[in-house]
Amino acid sequence: MSYFLQQLINGLTLGAIYALIALGYTMVYGIIGMINFAHGEIYMIGAFVSLTTFFVLGAVGVTWVPLALVLVLIAAMGFTAVYGWTVERIAYRPLRGSFRLAPLISAIGMSIFLQNYVQLLQGARVKSLPPVIHGGFQLMESNGFVVQLSYLQIMIMTLTIALMAGFSIMIAATPLGRAQRACEQDMTMAALLGINVDRTISTTFVIGALLAAVAGTMVTLYYGVIDFFIGFLAGIKAFTAAVLGGIGSLPGAVLGGFVIGLIEAFWSGYFNAAYKDVAVFGILILVLIFRPSGLLGRPEVEKV
């Protein structure tokens, strides 16, 4: 029982991270109907920036954890947002209106470029961060197995929920959110009504990057090791989460994220951990075959 509970906690934490990344995928897909293949790399960049910032802060003597955390988040979000913005400007905006494979290939090229960019500049080996946030609760014990819930895990989960709630409110109530929804429905009409479509799309990418940066920071704290390749796998899984939840739906992305995190945790806990990624990909394929609109999405009607 306690083993199950521990997997549950681990799965929810992992799921929260996937949810943050999945939100970025789903928002961009919602507005331009395209998967941002490079989004995983944006998350990876967020992780690297956060790690570097931690060490910089350590070097200049900022050791009070809450302050360091806030500064790291600001730095990671800030720099990663610029990366997200730049990727959209260079690789996607010029191709709006081009034949349908073009933005896809451009995105893949961007993904490859960013992976190797980081690999060349930061080295191909893993980088590690000593644990920053210590401690937590011991929930229960049975058969000598102690179920632990760390402060870090609580922080990750609450941050994800808070961000998701915040963005949902933003989408529903602010002018930006309305502009986004308008662009999703009919970009030409939105432009004719005076909405700055370019700026709306850029903002969407930036928001996605901000969320990915938070995810990257959390991963750095949680696992303590990062390398240039983490974006690739996390990207596919987060995309699976977005599709599972219903691409284009924000609550769907979060739901999907948690489900994928739980599946991964339970699979590695009870079955062969080596095949956990296969399990997640399998989910992706099954969802796309049998319920492509996902759990919370609306079925897409083909425009002829």
- Which residues sit at the interface with another protein, rule CB under 8 A? 34-35, 37, 45, 48-49, 51-53, 55-56, 59, 75, 79, 82-83, 86, 90-91, 94-95, 98-106, 108-118, 120-123, 127-128, 232, 236, 239, 243, 272, 274-275, 277-278, 281-282, 284-285, 288-289, 292, 301-302, 304
- Determine the Cα–Cα distance for residues 295 and 300; give it in Å rounded to an integer: 13
List phi, psi (to 5°) of 16. -60, -40
For residue 144, the minimal CB distance to another protein (Å) is 31
CB of 252 to another protein, least distance (A): 15
Q: How far is the CB of 239 from another protein (least distance, A)?
A: 6
Other beta carbons within 10 Å of 141: 11
Q: From the CB of 16, what's the least distance to another protein, in Å? A: 22
> Could you give the CA distance from residue 268 to residue 87 in angstroms, rounded to a whole number?
35
For residues 194 and 274, which CB has a smaller minimum distance to another protein in the complex? 274
Cα–Cα distance for residue pair 112/232, rounded to 1 Å: 10
- Residue type for position 158: T
34 or 154: CB nearest another protein: 34
Shortest separation between residue 292's beta carbon and another protein, angstroms: 7
Which residues is 142 bridged to in the sheet? 145
Q: For residues 27 and 179, which CB has a smaller minimum distance to another protein in the complex? A: 27
In angstroms, rounded to a whole number, what is the distance separating the alpha carbons of residues 176 and 172?
A: 9
Output 124 or 161, the one with its CB closest to another protein. Answer: 124
Count of C-beta atoms within a 10 Å radius of residue 214: 26
CA distances, 208 to each of 27, 188, 270 (Å): 7, 23, 33
Closest approach, Cβ 269 to another protein, in A, equals 18
**Shortest distance, CB of residue 132 to another protein, whole angstroms?**
13
Give the Cα separation of 141 and 216 in Å (integer): 32
Residue with Cβ nearer another protein (30 or 103): 103
Q: At what angle do helices 230-245 and 250-270 cross, to 10 degrees?
A: 120
CA distance 87 to 97: 17
Nearer to another protein, 167 or 239 (CB): 239
- Would you say 6 or 240 has its CB closer to another protein? 240
Q: How far apart are CA 60 and CA 16, in angstroms?
A: 31
- Residue type, position 299, single letter: P
